[in-house]
């Protein structure tokens, strides 16, 4: 059973930074794609950033130039460095992993098979 555990969320003022981590366990190889998603109150969950096994990254337009996704394969850990945070970045952030199934794109929810429980990010103005 795959387990994904996010950490690093918190409260920060606009313009600040946070680094989210996602520790993956329970499998002998990492997913062929990993991603970060977020869901704000009363809004649908949306893709933020994704990285494939060959290191190709994809970002939502709203975070390009501010967020960076990276991975430490040796530690089975996924990161999301978030800089220049804005109040509209406030959301629950989720880590996701894909092992199998149809490919709907790197930022599509349906692409991913496993999800973490989320970590809250709150940005105040």
pLDDT, tens digit (0-9, with 9 covering 90-100), for 84-109: 999 999 999 999 999 888 999 999 99
Pairwise CA distance, residues 116 & 124, whole Å: 25
Q: Do 5 and 115 contact (CB within 8 A), yes or no?
A: no
pLDDT in tens, 40-73: 999 999 999 999 988 999 999 999 999 999 998 7
Q: End-to-end CA distance of the chain: give it in Å, rounded.
A: 40
């Amino acid at each position: 059973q795959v387990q994904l555990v996010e950490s690093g969320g918190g409260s920060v003022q606009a313009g600040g930074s946070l680094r989210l981590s996602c520790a993956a366990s329970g499998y002998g190889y990492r997913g062929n794609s990993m991603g970060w998603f977020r869901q704000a109150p009363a809004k649908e969950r949306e893709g933020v950033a994704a990285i494939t096994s060959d290191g190709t990254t994809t970002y939502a337009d709203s975070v390009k130039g501010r967020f960076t996704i990276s991975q430490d394969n040796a530690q089975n850990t996924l990161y999301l460095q978030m800089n220049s945070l804005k109040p509209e970045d406030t959301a629950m952030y989720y880590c996701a992993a894909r092992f199998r199934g149809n490919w709907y794109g790197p930022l599509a929810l349906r692409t991913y098979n496993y999800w973490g429980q989320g970590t809250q990010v709150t940005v105040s103005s």
